[in-house]
Amino acid sequence: MAGPLEQFEIKPLAELSVAGIDVSFTNSALWMVIAAVLVTGFMTLSMRRGALVPGRWQGAAEVMYEFVANMLKDNVGTAGRKYFPFVFTLFMFVLFGNLLGMIPHSFTFTSHIAVTFAMALVIFIGVTIIGFVRHGTHYFRMFFPAGAPIATAFILIPIEIISYFSRPFSLAIRLFANMTVGHIMLKVIGGFVGLIGIFGVLPFALLTGITVLEFGIAALQAYVYTILTCIYLHDAIHMH
């Protein structure tokens, strides 16, 4: 029986290296490609007719579009309009990564800290650049909000700096931890089903419930990842 951590193993499918750095095409990369292909297929094939009265697939694609567009509008406002393609891509990529992970024997690339942290770092650096481009040195006011008594600067500034720099970590660890723990739990409880004979129905029932829960978490964590990105964008564009 495979251990609960085996599902997270990165297995190279084609060895590759560029300038001495290992860039092998792995199962992780394969599932990223599958996610990207599915997202692209979903968003283009469903809109192929571009009907005035949408069918089922077109309606679904439009719902995703408007869902992310509204999220961005509500959290960032109209100034966030030009970041919509990025936010949309981020949401769909994470959502499909999470949901594809629910397929037995698949691979969940969002359960890897390297992936979630790399994305979080891009968001963090991008948002910081946007903040400085829009506000110049005034962006440093982020660490000491206007209106706060000057005497609190000693405490407030370190707290704000820590909170600002912990953003990519909280973003990355939340997604990675949720995905990893969920999959370990499914694997461990699934292991009990066969081990305890007839009483296996109990963990099986539990497993059924947790599977439903995990689908919810897969969608929810994609949403959380995206909405936090929106909130950071809001801070960069409008300050506090």
Binding residues for other proteins, per CB under 8 A?
Answer: 5, 8-10, 12, 16, 18, 21-26, 28-29, 32-33, 35-36, 39-40, 43-44, 47, 50-52, 54, 58, 61-62, 65-66, 84-86, 88-89, 92-93, 109, 111-115, 118-119, 176, 180
Nearest approach, Cβ of 238 to other proteins (angstroms)? 24
173 versus 206: smaller Cβ distance to other proteins:
173
- How many C-beta neighbours within 10 Å does residue 179 have? 26
- How many C-beta neighbours within 10 Å does residue 202 have? 13
Nearest approach, Cβ of 88 to other proteins (angstroms)? 6
Nearest approach, Cβ of 187 to other proteins (angstroms)? 13
Nearest approach, Cβ of 197 to other proteins (angstroms)? 31
Residue (of 98, 225, 137) closest to 174 by Cα position: 225
Residue (of 57, 83, 59, 56) closest to 72 by Cα position: 83
Query: Any residues with CB less than 8 A from the CB of 161 and at least 6 apart, and which?
Result: 143
88 versus 124: smaller Cβ distance to other proteins:
88
160 versus 214: smaller Cβ distance to other proteins:
214
118 versus 155: smaller Cβ distance to other proteins:
118
Tell whether the torsion through CA atoms of 62, 68, 71 and 76 is positive or negative.
negative
Residue 17: beta bridge partners?
22
Nearest approach, Cβ of 182 to other proteins (angstroms)? 14
Nearest approach, Cβ of 199 to other proteins (angstroms)? 30
Rg (CA), the chain: 21
CB 8, CB 111: distance < 8 Å: yes
51 versus 161: smaller Cβ distance to other proteins:
51
Cα angle for residues 123, 147, 228 (degrees, 5° grid):
20
58 versus 211: smaller Cβ distance to other proteins:
58
